[in-house]
Structure 1
Amino acid sequence: MIQRIQTVYLLIVVLVAGVLPFWVNLWSDAEGNEIFASHEIFISLTFYISSLLALIAIVMFKNRKNQFVMNRLNMILNLFLLGFFVYRSLNLSGEISVSEKGIGMLIPIISIVFLVLANRAIKKDEDLVKSVDRLR
């Protein structure tokens, strides 16, 4: 249901994880070549899986508990991707020539923030449904 705020948050995650990594560079190597997500298959697949998990969570709007769990799995995947980026950036900084980290390395953080906001909204909906069930 598009009128729920968690759906909007999840749509933002779909757009951020599915589209943005292929337009914004992740890092630049010592020669000045910009590395995008499409240049590395592992990173590309991880971003696509994250986007797909968010899209599946949108479709699962009738089952809020499974939607909540799906968002948690997506957060774990984004944390894994963020850890990979941190590891990669620590390796990049040890080069003789200076390489630059791109703004694309922040994409998992943005996704995690919106997934947390979506989980808060899902929790509010679940609490509201439980409170209405108590009144019956």
Structure 2
Amino acid sequence: MIQRIQTFFLVMVALFAGILPFILNLWVDGEGAEFFAKNELWMSIVFYGSAALALISIFMYKNRQNQFVMNRLNMILNLFLLGFFVYRSLSLSGENTISEKGIGMLIPVFSIVFLVLANRAIKKDEDLVKSVDRLR
């Protein structure tokens, strides 16, 4: 059932993680050079991995428990990325020259929020199926 609300949330995560980090800058260093996710290979892999997990999770709609677990793994991946960004932003603010944090650093936060909303909808569907099974 592709038309469920969690599909919308997971598509948003895939768009946030797969497209936005390569368009929006993550930070600007002291020399004024903008840093995007494509500048480092491992960061590109993590963002693409998050987008791929969201897309894979969309098509696992027949097995809601595996979809739920896949979203949890995606949350852990985004928390790892968020932790790196927090570490990086703390080291940026200690520089002698002025540097800026980009809006792209918030992408993992938005991804985590949409993953939590998707997991709540999946849990709601699972509870509905269990209640219908009880009535039979």
Question: Aligned with 1:45: secondary structure?
Answer: helix
Q: Which amino acid letter does the alignment assign opposite residue 42 of structure 1?
A: W
Identity percentage of aligned residues: 76
Is 1:61 matched up with 2:61? yes
What is the SS of the residue equivalent to 1:98? coil
* Aligned position for 1:42: 42
In structure 2, what is the equivalent of residue 77 of structure 1? 77
Letter in 2 for 1:80: F
Which runs of structure 2 are paired with 1:102-121 in the superposition (5 Å)? Answer: 102-121=102-121
For structure 2, the 5+ residue unaligned runs are: none
Matches within 5 A, 1:91-130: 91-130=91-130
Verify the 8 A CA contact 2:13 2:115 in the aligned structure 1: yes
Q: Which residue pairs with 1:86 in the alignment?
A: 86
Helix, strand or coil for the counterpart of 1:57?
helix
For 1:105 and 1:41, the matched residues in 2 are separated by: 17
- Contact in 2 for aligned 1:11/1:55 (Cα 8 Å): yes
Query: For residues 77 and 45 of structure 1, what CA distance do their matches in structure 2 show?
Result: 11
User: Distance in 2 between the 1:99 and 1:46 partners?
Assistant: 24
- Report deviation, 1:2: 2.6
CA contact (8 A) 1:7 1:118 kept: yes
Quick one: distance in 2 between partners of 1:59 and 1:128? 20
SS in 2 for 1:116: helix
Rounded Cα–Cα distance in structure 2 between residues aligned with 1:40 and 1:34? 13
CA RMSD of aligned residues (A): 0.6
- Kept after mapping to 2: 8 A contact 1:2/1:8: no
CA contact (8 A) 2:2 2:61 kept: no
Q: What is the SS of the residue equivalent to 2:95?
A: coil
The two structures have a TM-score, normalised by structure 2, of 0.99
Opposite residue 4 of structure 2, the aligned amino acid is R
Contact 1:22 1:36 in 2 (8 A): yes
Gaps of 5+ in 1: none
Q: Displacement, 1:97?
A: 0.2
Where 1:6 maps in the other structure, the secondary structure is helix
Partner of 2:31: 31
